[in-house]
Every structure is written in structure tokens, then in C-alpha cells.
Amino acid sequence: MRATVGMLLILVPLALGVVGCHGAVKPVEWSELGSESGPKKQSRPSRDSKKSEELRIVAKSNKEVARLRPDDVVCIMQRVGFSDDQILDLGTDLHNALLLSGGADVYYGKGLEMIFAVNNQQVQIQSRSRGTFVYDVAKKRFVLGAAPFAGGR
């Protein structure tokens, strides 16, 4: 419980303070990720409403895991299209899934939107409609699916 609260205390200022992904690219919106009838934005349902209408992260077993820093999680989630509210709501779940299981599926309602998997110290992300992204954990940057940083190397 303390680890979750601590992670939220770290993720909240980072999500609010980070602009883009280290200034490299602008994140996509959920309306761009799905089909015409796909997800538009994460709803903020009350606790009594149906859970099937919201975004959720489900941990999946994998051979490798990754220890990501909070700014890595924010950068990854921004790049693949999560809003700031979604990062605050789901960032800890994604972090824990990649740390403890090495993989995660992101569902919107009953539909699978994205797959995250750790492989060779890289987080590989496959989006249903946006393609493939690869985040190098050691280099702290995207190596596939993102424009190069304008400031050079």
C-alpha cells in the first residue's frame, strides 16, 4: 500500500510537469487510436457504473521484467496516447505489471487496445491502430515509433 501511495506521489508531479515526451513528440489522442466506434476518451465513471466501459490494464506473464522509473512510465504512456488523467489513474498499474509480470494488455471495454511486453531491456508496445513502439529502458528513449529528438544526440 505504501509503495502504491509513494508511486502516486511521484507520478502526479511528473505527469503534471512533463511536457510531451522530453519535448520530442506530441502524444496521440485516444480518438486517433481506435476505429470510428472505438474509444474516444476514458470516461470517469462512478464506482457503481459498469467497469466494462473504461480503460484497464491487465498484467500478463513474460520471461523478462523491467524496472522503470516514474518518468519512463509517463514518457511511454504519453507517447502512445494516454491523457494526463489516464496516466495518473493507470500509471501505477502499468508500472507494477511491467515490474512484476513483464507484460500488460490495455483494454477499453472488452476490446484489446495495446500490448506491452519487456524484451531485452526494451518495452515493446503494439497498438491495435497506431503500430509498434519500442522504448529502450537503458537509453531512456524510443528507438522505434517516435520521431528523433530535435536536439541531436
| Positive or negative: CA dihedral 2, 8, 9, 14 | positive
Cell numbers 500509471 correspond to what residue? 91
User: Which pTM value belongs to this model?
Assistant: 0.64
Q: Provide the residue-wise pLDDT of the chain in tens; the chain has 153 residues.
A: 555 545 555 555 554 454 445 544 455 555 444 444 444 444 443 443 444 358 999 999 999 999 999 999 999 999 999 999 999 999 999 999 999 999 999 999 999 999 999 999 999 999 987 789 999 999 999 998 755 444 444
The 3 state secondary structure assigned to 119-141 is ECCEEEEEECCCEEEEEECCCCE
- Write down the domain spans for the chain: 20-28+55-153
Can you name the residues that pair with 122 across neighbouring β-strands?
119, 136
DSSP bridge partners of 102: 61
